[in-house]
């Protein structure tokens, strides 16, 4: 069971990036998937999540209206579309899978058992 996060990079304020979370060894559809981020010197922060089988979605207040989480079932991938990026969005972003059926997801790290390796997002001012 592996998760691979990708799509990070360097972008200017106001720009966009799309992060991908691809799975190998299992099908993502059944799992709630969350995106978390951690900036240097700060605690890990829950960003967004999507429930099992396209259940509910959740976005933290800090990203609401700018970030969108979605699934591509055919590609066994979950995306995080990030628009109107701000310097405070700079962090390493991780995707994680909660290995149980969850209709209403939550970005509580302890509920997620499988984690990807992280992808760096840097937003320049």
Q: How far apart are CA 21 and CA 95, in angstroms?
A: 6
How do the pLDDT tens digits run along the chain, 125 residues long?
799 999 999 999 999 999 999 998 889 998 999 999 999 999 999 999 999 988 899 999 999 999 999 999 999 999 999 999 999 999 999 999 998 888 899 999 999 999 999 999 999 99
From residue 12, how far is each of 21, 47, 87, 92 by CA, in Å?
23, 20, 8, 16
Name which of 19, 112, 29, 119 is nearest 71 in CA terms. Answer: 29
pLDDT at 1: 75
């Amino acid at each position: 069971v592996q998760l691979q996060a990708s799509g990070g990079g360097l972008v200017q304020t106001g720009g966009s990036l799309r992060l991908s979370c691809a799975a190998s060894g299992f099908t993502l559809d059944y799992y709630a998937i969350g995106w978390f981020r951690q900036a240097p010197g700060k605690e890990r922060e829950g960003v967004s999540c999507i429930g099992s089988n396209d259940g509910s979605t959740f976005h933290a207040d800090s990203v609401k209206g700018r970030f969108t989480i979605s699934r591509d079932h055919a590609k066994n991938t979950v995306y995080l579309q990030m628009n109107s990026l701000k310097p405070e969005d700079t962090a390493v972003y991780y995707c994680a899978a909660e290995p149980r059926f969850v209709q209403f997801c939550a970005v509580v790290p302890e509920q997620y058992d499988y984690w990807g390796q992280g992808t760096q997002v840097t937003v320049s001012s």
